[in-house]
Amino acid sequence: MRPGYDWDLFCAVVDNYGDIGITWRLARQLASEHRLRVRLWVDDLAAFRCLRPEIDPDLDEQACQGVTVRHWRAPFPAAEPADVVVEALACHLPESYESAMAERPVKPVWLNLEYLSAEDWVPGCHALASPHPRLPLTKYFFLPGYVPGTGGVLKESWLVAARDDLRADPAAQAAFWRRLAVPEAEESRISLFSYENTAIQGLFETWADGPERVRCLVPEGRPLADVAGFFGRPAVAAGEQLVRGNLAVQVLPMLSQDDYDRLLWLCDCNFVRGEDSLVRAMWAGKPLVWQAYRQEDQAHWPKIHALLDLLCGDLDPGDADALRALWSAWNDMAGAGPAWPEFWHRRPAWLARLDRWQAQLDGVGDLATNLVKFCNEKSK
């Protein structure tokens, strides 16, 4: 085996944590489960540190859970390319690195890891090759997905066992809630991780006026202005708890990825956004509501409807209608409150559907393993 790295992953952080969250989970799994030497290039280590507190944003190179983390700076330093090179989520390699790839006698396997989508064109585009216009290199488009013929979604081998162990351990659950300063109470617990969303107002009104006690746990971030507006406050901050009627809203500090997984596992319902938290909520197996990243040309709606079509495929019409109504209202940013009671009433059907959905995802295979198999084939 030649010296150097087996895999290089490149991540350009845009305006949220999803890009680095996905790329880090993949890098960690490749190193821990597939015993690969992985180097992760990240252009924003401060954002990375929000998910992994041990990351030092001032270091050019550091080790984290078996992965070498490099600060992706300009100008890009001289670096020997790895055997496999992954552009994560629409980023582009430095020109000097591409040139170094072309100079290798054995060219690296080069992949563009695309965003996750349920749209029906995904299987037809998965694994397509794209020759470089100038250099003797070929890039392959690797598309995550939910159905056979796609790359699957991220899932570590330990994930389900860790989830089930926590759910079976009341003492560990109590310790987790204490660490987050969540008081003991008979209540429904709902996590809310979203973009800005004016539908929060109506949803909170429904919970506040509803028949059962609800605690909404909101990690600090983009929806806090909407949360503050509901309570007539100019702002709210991590550590605060606000109460109206049967609703208690508690603002949590930014959580590490591992703690966010635990939050999803233990809540009764999870509102999630983007790609990374969506997949983690699916593996949590609790009722979930997804907010897609909003695009000016309305390109997010085909993604929403495509995923709903898959999820509703074997649901009774009434259950499917309730799910579609709440997801649509949430992404319309209006009307989520009126759509909530019917969705919540039908949660047993949704829980059963998620069990079947997880089995379907397992049949496709996890993203990291599918990537390794693909690259091994291309390396022969």
Q: Which of 192, 124, 212 is nearest to 330 (CA)?
A: 192
Residue 26, H or E segment? helix 18-33
**Do 185 and 318 belong together in one domain?**
yes
Position 1 in a domain = no
Q: Which of 338, 336, 94 is nearest to 194 (CA)?
A: 336
Q: Which of 170, 193, 378 is nearest to 266 (CA)?
A: 170
Determine the Cα angle at 245 with ends 242 and 248, to 5°: 35
**Do 356 and 375 belong together in one domain?**
no
- The C-alpha atoms of residue 146 and residue 153 are separated, in whole angstroms, by 7
**Do 214 and 352 belong together in one domain?**
yes
User: Which residue among the candidates 275, 276, 319, 366 is catalytic per the annotation?
Assistant: 275
**Do 139 and 170 belong together in one domain?**
no
**Do 335 and 210 belong together in one domain?**
yes
Does the annotation mark 296 as catalytic?
Answer: no
Other residues' Cβ atoms within 10 Å of the Cβ of residue 315:
19
Give the largest CA-CA distance in the chain: 69
- The C-alpha atoms of residue 101 and residue 39 are separated, in whole angstroms, by 15
Q: What are phi and psi of 194, to 5 degrees?
A: -145, 175
Position 346 in a domain = yes
**Do 294 and 306 belong together in one domain?**
yes
pLDDT of residue 288: 97
Q: How many domains does the chain have?
A: 2
Does the annotation mark 19 as catalytic?
Answer: yes
Please list the ranges in the chain whose pLDDT falls under 50.
Answer: 1
pLDDT of residue 169: 98
DSSP 153: B
The β-bridge relationship of strands 38-42 and 61-64 is: unpaired
DSSP 155: -
pLDDT of residue 1: 39
- For residue 291, what are the domain limits? 158-363
**Do 176 and 315 belong together in one domain?**
yes
**Do 204 and 254 belong together in one domain?**
yes
**Do 169 and 275 belong together in one domain?**
yes
Indicate whether this model's pTM tops 0.75. yes
pLDDT of residue 15: 65
User: Which residue among the candidates 19, 87, 276, 366 is catalytic per the annotation?
Assistant: 19
CATH number of the domain residue 72 falls in: 3.40.50
Lookup: tokens for 32: 């821990």
Position 216 in a domain = yes
User: What is the distance in angstroms between the CA of the first residue and the CA of the last residue of the chain?
Assistant: 14
Q: What are phi and psi of 103, to 5 degrees?
A: -80, -15
**Do 115 and 219 belong together in one domain?**
no
Position 184 in a domain = yes
**Do 137 and 192 belong together in one domain?**
no
**Do 165 and 146 belong together in one domain?**
no
pLDDT of residue 16: 66
